[in-house]
Each structure stands twice: as C-alpha cells, then as structure tokens.
C-alpha cells in the first residue's frame, strides 16, 4: 500500500503561519501520512523580480517545519529548469511512486481558476484536490465549480472546512520593507533568518 501525501505548493515568499495552519488542518482532516512542502521554481503566473532565490525560500521552509514529524520539504521544482507547472510536478511524483495517493492542497479561491492552469486534466488525473473553504460567502460558487470539474474532468475534489489566518506573504513583505513587526505572523526562527540575511528590506 502506498501513502497518502499532501502537497503544499507555492512560492512561500516567505512561508507564514497561514500556510502551516492549512497544512496541519489538511493533514488531520484527510488523515495524511505526510505533507510535502514544494516551493515553486519559476512560477509562470508571478512576477519573478519579487520572488527570492529558491534556496533562500527553501531554507525558510526548513526552519518553519522543523520538529514536525509529518512535514517535509521537496526542492524538485527548484531543480527543474524553466517555468514551473503543477501538472508536470504531479506527473513526476506519480511516476516515481505510483502507489501513493497525492492530495493537492489549495485555497478554494484557487479552485475557481484551475481550468486556466496548464493541462488541468493531468492535475486531476494525478491528484485529489483538497480545497479549503474560507467561509467568505463564495461557498455556493465553489460547490458549483467543484461539481463542474468533477463532471468535466472526473476530478476528485475534497472540500475542507478550514480556519484561516488573515495573512499573506505580500503583507509580510510590505511590513518588513517598512521595518515593522511581523511577530506572530510567521515562526520566530524564520523572522530571525530574514533579519540576519537582510531580506525584504526594499519593499514598498
């Protein structure tokens, strides 16, 4: 029997408690054996100039998840040349470990845009989608989209009722750029790493 593996993808620029809370809730709700944090290399939908070097982002993830026995880091997307596509990552993971069941964890708002991603049919073939609903009034729309994706692509979609922290990496970068506190927004050791390496100092 394979394992049930959660996938937390993103730029993690920087990682914060919102990411960690979502990962932990998905792990518990779906009874996952492991949650894999996958920092993206060159995400084609984001401004490259605003994203720190991949190794730096990976170092911050290591610090954030240290001590959690079921959280781990994969740098496979950082090692891949060219733009990063979720479909390629999931296909590679599934080819290496065909018995594993992969759960791609995302906020339900991202579910609304998944048909715009590269080859969404391959994503749905290789992973169960675990969409965390924030409770912002979009629940009916999200359910409609989920039903459409399940009918159109035979996708398997799990809706997770999740407690969200109102945090974003962009807000954290802005606060750091202005010299403001980010205490209780991300792990203390990640903040120390940012300060020691003078990161995010020139943000508006």
Q: Are 105 and 98 in contact (CB under 8 A)?
A: no
- How do 4-10 and 34-39 pair as beta strands? parallel
Tens of pLDDT, residue by residue, the chain (204 residues): 799 999 999 999 999 999 999 999 999 999 999 999 999 987 655 555 678 999 999 999 999 999 999 999 999 999 998 888 999 999 999 999 999 999 999 988 889 899 999 999 999 999 999 999 876 667 788 889 999 999 999 999 999 987 777 899 999 999 999 999 999 999 999 999 999 999 998 754
Treating both helix axes as pointing N-terminal to C-terminal, what angle do 54-65 and 188-196 enclose, rounded to 10 degrees?
Answer: 150
Tell me the three state secondary structure of residue 2. coil
| Of 95, 116, 96, 91, residue with least CA distance to 104 | 91
Token match 């790493």: residue?
193
Rounded to 5 degrees, φ, ψ at 38 are -120, 85
Query: Would you state the CATH architecture of domain 4-166?
Result: 3-Layer(aba) Sandwich (3.40)
- Whole-number Å distance between alpha carbons of 85 and 83: 6
Structure tokens at 118: 């590269």
Strand spans (E) along the chain: 4-10, 34-39, 71-73, 101-107, 128-133, 157-161
**Cα 53 from Cα 108, distance rounded (Å):** 28
């Amino acid at each position: 029997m394979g394992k049930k593996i959660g996938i937390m993808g993103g730029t993690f620029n920087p990682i914060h408690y919102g990411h960690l809370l979502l990962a932990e809730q998905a792990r518990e709700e779906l009874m996952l054996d492991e949650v894999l944090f996958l920092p993206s290399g060159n995400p084609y939908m984001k401004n490259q100039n605003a994203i720190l070097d991949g190794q730096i982002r990976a170092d911050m993830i290591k610090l954030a998840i240290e001590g959690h026995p079921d959280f781990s880091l994969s740098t496979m997307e950082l090692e891949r040349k060219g733009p990063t596509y979720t479909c390629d990552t999931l296909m590679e993971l599934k080819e290496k470990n065909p018995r594993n069941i992969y759960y791609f964890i995302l906020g339900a708002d991202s579910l609304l845009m998944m048909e715009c991603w590269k080859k969404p049919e391959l994503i749905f073939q290789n992973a169960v989608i675990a969409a965390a609903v924030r409770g912002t009034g979009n629940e009916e729309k999200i359910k409609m989209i989920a039903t459409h994706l399940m009918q159109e692509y035979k996708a398997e979609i799990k809706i997770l009722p999740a407690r969200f922290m109102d945090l974003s990496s962009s807000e954290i970068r802005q606060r750091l750029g202005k010299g403001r506190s980010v205490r209780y927004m991300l792990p203390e050791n990640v903040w120390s790493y940012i300060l020691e390496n003078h990161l995010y100092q020139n943000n508006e």
